[in-house]
Structure 1
Amino acid sequence: MTSTLSVTDAAAPATTGGTRSFARLLPSSSPKLIVGLIIAGVVIVWGIVGPLLVGDPHAISTNAFAPPGPEHWLGTTQVGQDVWAQIAYGTRGSLVIGFVVGLLATVLSAFFGVLGAYIGGVIDEGFALFTNVVLVIPGLPLVIVIGNYVPQNQRGLFLIAVVLAITSWAGSARVLRSVTLSLRNRDYVAASKVSGEKTWRVLAVEILPNLIPVMASQFVFAIIFAILGEAGLSFLGLGANNSFTLGTILFQAYNDLALTQGAWWWFVPPGLVIALFGCALSLINFSIDEIINPKLRNQTRASRKAWGLTADQIQRLEKEDIK
């Protein structure tokens, strides 16, 4: 995981059980969070609305390798297809894969990490063993093998998403297991058990609310992994068939020698969209990390003091931190 969290830090906010207000689970505003949300919001809105505003991305014309202009805002491909329309549909396809993988990976990691750790005993040991086995299997080779095994005409967006989700949940499950092992020994959890609360209610009311920041960070990271993983698979020719994603656009640009033809408008925009969206999600993830691990904010303040800033300068900078 990219999060610099520890079990103690992740469990630290859980001082009053599931009675904490939901507002405290949400990150406060900070410059990197605002920038990340704006960039991610623009990309998501474009992925949703864009395909409704452009023409058919499969339409072929005689205007091949046309540079950007009034008729084609991002130029055309080797067979005259509009790159602007392809980017719109490709952004939607990549977002679908990203969010499906994020959801599936989060559910799988919560099932094997949270449920197993809370129940304990043989179930916990079995879940932990299975998680460790999945974790040590090289992810990229496994994805390539699975993607290559599936017939090309059956490779849709959701199948690619399932393949990527299978290889991306184990690390998160280990983190959730460690945090849950710490939480299940808290006094308020023990009180719920003694009072006769059912297992599902203890998990839903006492355990899961305290895991929301950790799971949110893992969800964001899974989306980043999925979009980059899909781009890698598509670049190897193992992407979704008959569907536009940012990865398949890069694959077609590479196959049709866009670089040697100087058609930068074919491969630069999809790469830029991937980079911007990944940067935005990383900024959001960093903000969530500061909620999970308050030591990150303390380290930032200590660094500012080491820079020799005055008290007024430090106070102005601290106003921009997460309160």
Structure 2
Amino acid sequence: MIQDTFKLFVGNKKALVGLTIFLIFLIIAIFAPIIAPYEIRQSSDEDGQFPMRAEPGGKHLLGTSHAGYDIFSRLIHGTRLTLMVGIITGTISTFVALTVGLLSGYLGGRADDFLSFINNIFLVIPSLPLIIVIASYITMRGIMPIILVLSLTGWAWGARVIRSQVMSMREREFVQVAEVLGESTLVIIFREILPNIISLVMVTFFTSTMAAVIGQATLEFIGLGNMAAVTWGTMLYWAQNNAALLYGAWWWFLPPGLFIGMLGASFALMNFAIDEISNPKIRKR
């Protein structure tokens, strides 16, 4: 079943476009030191110091920053950390959502009441203010605190959707047959239920990863991240902090903004593709 879903996914046009965009970003992240013409904090070469606030052109494809750093190089290097935070956070959030959703939906009873209570708390509280409050109280600066904060606040929606699907699937005949045959809870969950919700798990991962990239950029834009790190979010922070709009330096903020939008679009396209694959009515259109 998983192999059939994968074949349908790769054969879908939206999925192919979204996957291609994502793979391009992944290649950029892996080979950033080779692709980028300069180091992250390099502001000079054999010809001397780089000019500050230089417009795009010549040796600097996207110009230079207020400190003389090459914008294109920082954009390429920033892809690595941005993608790392997004993928790790998406993986953690999906794992927590899947665990809570499976246990809550299948076990029911007190376990469902308790897990649903915790889930509802995170769903009721607005995510962005919660992220900002938690991040502001964390004294440690770096990538890991951002991953932990975004993971802590990013699992609830996925858990609720998975729970609903599992509760519906629990009443299916093949699950009831497995229960009658005396199969253990873990065997039923992992062998009977999980393979049938793999598309939902993929949607949860793509959505969580996209939300993590946007959440990271938001935190860093308002100064709650590690400003010494080079990510798309910190590039936007320094652009805003050094009056890029006032100087008309569009090359400071437009490239990272476009990259965030393109990465988000790739995940959205893959989500649309999964909807088409899992819903025959949409697929026929």
Give the TM-score, by structure 2 length.
Answer: 0.92
- 1:18-42 CA-partner distances (Å, limit 9, x unpaired): xx46323553423222221222211
Is contact 1:164–1:226 with CA below 8 Å preserved after alignment? yes
Is contact 1:66–1:76 with CA below 8 Å preserved after alignment? yes
Q: Does 1:34 align with 2:22?
A: no
Aligned to 1:168: 154
* Equivalenced residues, count: 278
Aligned to 1:233: 219
Partner SS state of residue 228, structure 2: coil
Q: 2:101 aligns with which of 86, 108, 113?
A: 113
Partner SS state of residue 196, structure 1: coil
CA distance in 1 between partners of 2:76 and 2:165 (Å): 40
Displacement of 1:252 in angstroms is: 0.5
Q: 2:205 aligns with which of 194, 200, 219?
A: 219
Matched-pair identity in % = 40
CA distance in 2 between partners of 1:26 and 1:108 (Å): 27
Aligned to 1:295: 281
Aligned to 2:141: 155
Unaligned runs of 5+ in 1: 1-19, 302-323
Aligned to 2:64: 76
Amino acid aligned to 1:32 = K
Amino acid aligned to 2:265 = C
Aligned to 1:276: 262
Is contact 1:25–1:212 with CA below 8 Å preserved after alignment? no
Displacement of 1:131 in angstroms is: 0.5
Q: 1:188 aligns with which of 164, 174, 187?
A: 174
Partner SS state of residue 72, structure 1: coil
Partner SS state of residue 219, structure 2: helix
Amino acid aligned to 1:202 = I
CA distance in 1 between partners of 2:7 and 2:231 (Å): 31
> Which piece of structure 1 moves more, 49-58 or 239-248?
49-58
- 1:212-267 CA-partner distances (Å, limit 9, x unpaired): 00010111111111111111111111123421110110001111112222222111
Is contact 2:142–2:226 with CA below 8 Å preserved after alignment? yes
Aligned to 1:10: none
Alignment of 1:69-108 (within 5 A): 69-108=57-96
Q: Does 1:22 align with 2:30?
A: no
Partner SS state of residue 260, structure 1: helix
Amino acid aligned to 2:86 = G
Is contact 1:57–1:86 with CA below 8 Å preserved after alignment? yes
CA distance in 2 between partners of 1:82 and 1:31 (Å): 36
CA distance in 2 between partners of 1:193 and 1:26 (Å): 31
Displacement of 1:80 in angstroms is: 0.6
Change in 2 beyond 3 A, CA 1:21/1:171? closer
Unaligned runs of 5+ in 2: none
Q: 1:43 aligns with which of 25, 33, 53?
A: 25
Partner SS state of residue 246, structure 2: coil
Aligned to 1:134: 122
> Which piece of structure 1 moves more, 157-166 or 248-257?
157-166
Aligned to 2:42: 59
Alignment of 1:236-251 (within 5 A): 236-251=222-237
CA distance in 1 between partners of 2:222 and 2:146 (Å): 13
Is contact 1:100–1:158 with CA below 8 Å preserved after alignment? no
CA RMSD of aligned residues (A): 1.6
CA distance in 2 between partners of 1:71 and 1:99 (Å): 33
CA distance in 1 between partners of 2:277 and 2:127 (Å): 29
